[in-house]
Amino acid sequence: MKSIRNSKVDSVLDVIEKTYPSYRLCSYENLARINGKLKITNSSRFWNDRSHDVLSAIHDINVTFHRYPESHKQKILASKEIETLFHSQIFPHLESKIRDSKNASPEDTAMMVKICSNFMKIGLSGLLRSMPSDFTHILEPKIQEIFSLMDAINQYTNRIAPRHAKISEFPFDLYTGK
């Protein structure tokens, strides 16, 4: 059942449209609900639908990104939006759940370890591949040390969350670019 629009709803939507003029992920009404400006009537359904929208958008990016010209791929990867998503949204969310609570859930800890370890492997492998070969003999042992630390963290995660250990498994094979 659709809600009846009135002047209060219209004024909220006007403010939302002016604040987020290029927003495209969902309707402005749903964005107003996400921001707490309008009431959510069926919370479970609403958040399930919004989660589906976000996952669909990520899927769409996965399907099309490899077809973009190199210059546009670089533009997207170097954008502040990508950095902001991880640096200001995802990592702080997980970190606050782990650090600010006295008893962090093993699931949250395992998820944070998994995400960080994936980014670490991507970053370190990329660093090793992009550096001149003269640096390989210097970087490889240092990166192996970091991977050993990640193995220790993985073992710790296995102890605190044995049911969720598979989530945090870190692939310890170092791509050397040889």
| Chain Cα centroid distance, residue 124 | 18
- Report if pTM > 0.85: no
Q: Which of 106, 54, 126 shows the shortest CA–CA distance to 85?
A: 54
How far apart CA 76 and CA 70 sit, in angstroms, is 10
18-77-171 Cα angle (round to 5): 125
Residue 104, Cβ density class (10 Å: 0-12 exposed, 13-18 middle, ≥19 buried): middle
- What is the per-residue pLDDT across 144-155, written as a single tens digit (0 to 9) for each? 888 888 778 777
pLDDT for the residue numbered 176: 42
- What is the per-residue pLDDT across 89-125, written as a single tens digit (0 to 9) for each? 888 887 887 776 667 777 777 777 777 777 888 888 8
Query: And the tokens for 76?
Result: 């997207």
